[in-house]
Each structure stands twice: as C-alpha cells, then as structure tokens.
C-alpha cells in the first residue's frame, strides 16, 4: 500500500446554472434526449472573467481550510486540467499567483478526464518517497470556453468546476491499496482540440472553422471508455486482493450515466454504491472525481477505513483506476 492520507477536500462550482431547457433554446436538442442519452440535467458555467486557476484556487483554499492549513504550507501543487489558463506557464503557477504564494513545486498534468487520478498517483509517489510532505492535488476545468456552442453533439455534455484534495503521508492505516494507469495515443484524434498548439497554430482560418473547440467521435469514446474503465477497475480490485463487495463507494469519472453504469456492471458493483453528481454538473473532465469525493465526504458517506474505487477515462486516450482505503 502507498500510505497516504487525504486530510481535506474542497470544491468550487460557478454560480450560473445552464439547464437542458436553456440548451433547447440554443441548439436543436431536447431535455428528453439529453437526459436519456447522458443522464445530465444541468451544468455550471463560468463567467467570462473566470479562468481555470480561479476555480482551482477556491477549491484548494477550501480543502486547506478543512485540513487546518494554508495553501502556503503546501510544498507541492499539481493541477490536472485540459483547459489551462494559458499554454504556458502551467495553470498551477497561475494558481500560485492567484493565491499569493511561492516556492512550492507547481505543475500541471494533462491527462484529460483521467487527470485527477494521474495527479493523485504522482502525488502519492512523491509523498511515499519523501520528495513531498504536503501536496495539493486539484482537478479543474473551464470546459465552456473550449466547447462549440453550435455543436449539439458536444455542447450539451460539458460543465465547469474544480475539486481539490490536500494529501499527506499516512500512518499505515490509509492509502492507495492498488492502482493502474495507461494510455493509447494512437487514438488521440478521436477526442481532441485541433488548433492552438504547434501542430495547428491559431489563425483566422482555425477560428472560422472552430478548430479551437472540442472535436469528438462520441460513439468511439463511449465504446473505449466502458471497456477501459471496467477493465482497470477489475484489475485494481484484484491487485488490492479485494472483492466488489468490499467497496463502500464507487466513484467513476462522470461523463455519461450510460458509460458509468456499464463500467459499474463490469466491475461487479451494485447500483446503490455508485456515487453520482453528473446530473447536476455534466462532464467537468478532470474535476468530476474530486468534486464527487468532496460531496461524498460532506454527506458523511466516507469514513476512515472505507474502501473506495475510483476510475476514469479521457482524451489521449488515457485511463486509470485506484482502490483507496480512506
């Protein structure tokens, strides 16, 4: 086991709510289609002045409050995001600036919707080797600024938000019992943002063609997500020497209720153990898992010693799963 302890969690969600009924007025869609195909009822949308680091800062401050410390006490800050404030520097550095802190290692992880689990894995390894003593691990996204609001196949899916966890070395009673991660970059073109990097620098043409927004083959993503989240969950449980019945809470990445359900069934977890926030927030990419964890903690659904199974899938493609003793 990688002995670590989550000593505080927090979340930040923009105030503005965009419902399926609002979307009916923007594109050719319906509440019924969105609910039946995705399980999403509404999502939060950041205002024009809010960037990813702003949401990350609020989530991290709340997590630090719960942990009884200040962001300045952290020696390591990892932000998982696909919607950085800028191409460079890292959103984690903008986050330091926003909080008025300096000195800690601060870097981003780009692993799409699997980002929070990748960041947690990196943080755990830094903590157990002594490189880090107090880590802030954050998943934060402002998806609404990279979505094509004229494309009904994608704009109904996403939302904005951030979740954070303060993680420290454990005393042997809590931590990551087993975890795995993987990627298949050959499938990168199935879900990506074509323009804005060195492959296709931003130009009048890319703007006209909306190449700076999410491009996705939804059916392909769906198929791969179900398989990868199911397989990685089963493997993590096996490696931990546990059965599905040992799991108190299953928190999968929240992209689509049908993907989550199929992953749950493949992992052998009963429906009442799956924790869902998707209907309220849509797909917040790297933020969905830490936001869900924070809500579960707040509702008293996670107690010391409980086993939780986390799994995710995202652009890359990337996937990951982790079994934690809380």
Active-site hit among 155, 183, 253, 256 = 253
Note whether 248 binds ligand ACO by CB under 6 A.
no
SS (H, E, C) 197-231: CCCCCCCHHHHHCCCCCCEECHHHHHHHHHHHHHH
Query: In the annotation, is 253 catalytic?
Result: yes
Note whether 142 binds ligand ACO by CB under 6 A.
no
Query: In the annotation, is 49 catalytic?
Result: no
Query: In the annotation, is 283 catalytic?
Result: yes
Q: Do residues 98 and 54 make contact, with C-beta atoms less than 8 angstroms apart? A: yes
Hey, which residues between 267 and 306 contact ligand ACO (CB under 6 A)?
283
Hey, which residues between 217 and 246 contact ligand ACO (CB under 6 A)?
218-219, 221-222, 225
Judged by CB under 6 A, the number of residues near ligand ACO is 23
Q: Which is nearer to ligand ACO, 90 or 263 (CB)?
A: 263
Token digits of residue 282: 């849509």
What is the C-alpha to C-alpha distance for residues 52 and 59, in angstroms, rounded to an integer? 11
CB 88 → ligand ACO: shortest distance, Å?
24
Query: Site mask, ligand ACO, residues 12-41, x = CB under 6 A?
Result: -----------------x---xx--xx---
Nearest alpha carbon to residue 11 among 70, 43, 58, 47: 58
Active-site hit among 64, 113, 155, 183 = 113
Q: In the chain, at which residue ranges do the beta strands (DSSP E only) sit?
A: 2-12, 17-19, 42-44, 76-80, 105-109, 135-142, 160-169, 175-183, 191-192, 215-216, 249-252, 307-314, 318-325
Note whether 113 binds ligand ACO by CB under 6 A.
yes
Note whether 314 binds ligand ACO by CB under 6 A.
yes
Q: Do residues 286 and 112 make contact, with C-beta atoms less than 8 angstroms apart? A: yes
Q: Which residues bind ligand ACO (CB under 6 A)?
A: 29, 33-34, 37-38, 113, 152-153, 156-157, 191, 216, 218-219, 221-222, 225, 253, 255-256, 283, 313-314
* Residues involved in catalysis: 113, 253, 283
């Amino acid at each position: 086991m990688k002995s670590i302890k989550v000593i505080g969690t927090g979340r930040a969600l923009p105030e503005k709510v965009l419902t399926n009924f609002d979307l009916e007025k923007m594109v050719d869609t319906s509440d019924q289609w969105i609910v039946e195909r995705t399980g999403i009822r509404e999502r939060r949308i950041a205002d024009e002045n809010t960037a990813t680091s702003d949401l990350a800062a609020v989530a991290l401050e709340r997590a630090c409050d719960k942990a009884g410390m200040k962001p300045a006490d952290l020696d390591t800050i990892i932000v998982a995001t696909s919607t950085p404030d800028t191409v460079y520097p890292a959103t984690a550095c903008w986050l330091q600036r926003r909080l008025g802190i300096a000195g800690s290692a601060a870097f981003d992880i780009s692993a799409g919707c699997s980002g929070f689990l990748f960041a947690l894995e990196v943080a755990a390894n830094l903590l157990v080797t002594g490189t880090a003593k107090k880590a802030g691990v954050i998943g934060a996204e402002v998806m609404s600024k990279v979505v094509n609001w004229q494309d009904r196949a994608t704009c109904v899916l996403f939302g904005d938000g951030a979740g954070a966890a303060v993680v420290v070395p454990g005393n042997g009673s809590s931590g990551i019992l087993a975890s795995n991660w993987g990627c298949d970059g050959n499938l990168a073109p199935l879900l990506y943002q074509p323009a804005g990097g060195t492959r296709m620098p931003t130009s009048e043409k890319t703007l006209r063609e909306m190449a700076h927004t999410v491009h996705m083959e939804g059916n392909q993503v769906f198929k791969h997500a179900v398989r990868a989240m199911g397989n990685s969950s089963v493997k993590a449980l096996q490696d931990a020497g546990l059965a599905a019945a040992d799991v108190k809470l299953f928190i999968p990445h929240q992209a689509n209720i049908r993907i989550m359900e199929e992953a749950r069934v493949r992992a052998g977890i009963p429906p009442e153990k799956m924790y869902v926030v998707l209907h309220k927030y849509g797909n917040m990419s790297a933020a969905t898992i830490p936001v869900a964890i924070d809500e579960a903690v707040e509702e008293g659904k996670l107690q010391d010693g409980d086993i939780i199974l986390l799994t995710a899938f995202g652009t890359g493609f990337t996937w990951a799963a982790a079994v934690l003793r809380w």
